[in-house]
């Protein structure tokens, strides 16, 4: 089973709203990732959690706040977003981070910021 689930599938929010994206996997993976994908562009890495600790932050603005409550769950808290933050947000997981680990992606959350 290589399933990563993400909720919600779609989200519309105003610039003053606070919302959260959720990602879950039950494959026993110990690394989880957030990617941002703009239309007609490849995904770009935002954050990496390894063994529930933040290991990579790709200079993402503070209006994006990741959280890893446990090894199966990854959240992305959104606050005071801008219209240019509208994108598909993809979550991924891998067995570990020792090198060469395949990343398995969820279906994504399509976010629209008005």
Partner 1 sequence: AQTVTQSQPEMSVQEAETVTLSCTYDTSENNYYLFWYKQPPSRQMILVIRQEAYKQQNATENRFSVNFQKAAKSFSLKISDSQLGDTAMYFCAFLQGAQKLVFGQGTRLTINP
Cβ 16 to partner 1 shortest distance, Å: 27
Exposed, middle or buried: residue 52 (CB in 10 Å: 0-12, 13-18, 19+)?
middle
Chain residues that interact with partner 1, rule: CB under 8 A: 31, 33, 41-45, 48, 50, 55-56, 88, 90, 92, 97-108, 110
Indicate the residue among 45 and 80 with the shorter CB distance to partner 1: 45
Distance in Å, CB of 107 to partner 1, minimum: 5
Cα atoms found within 13 Å of the Cα of residue 45, Cβ hemisphere only: 11
Query: Which residues have C-beta within 8 Å of that of residue 59, sequence separation ≥ 6?
Result: none
Q: How far is the CB of 10 from partner 1 (least distance, A)?
A: 11
């Amino acid at each position: 089973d290589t399933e990563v689930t993400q909720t919600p599938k779609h989200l519309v929010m105003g610039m003053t709203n606070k919302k959260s994206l959720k990602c879950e996997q039950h494959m026993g993976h110990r690394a989880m990732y957030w990617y941002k994908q703009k239309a007609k562009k490849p995904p770009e890495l935002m954050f990496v959690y390894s063994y529930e600790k933040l290991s990579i932050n790709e200079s993402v603005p503070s209006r994006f706040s990741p959280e890893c409550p446990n090894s199966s769950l990854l959240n992305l808290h959104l606050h005071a977003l801008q219209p240019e933050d509208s994108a598909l947000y993809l979550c991924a997981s891998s067995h570990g981070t020792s090198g060469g680990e395949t990343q398995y992606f969820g279906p994504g959350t399509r976010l629209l910021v008005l």
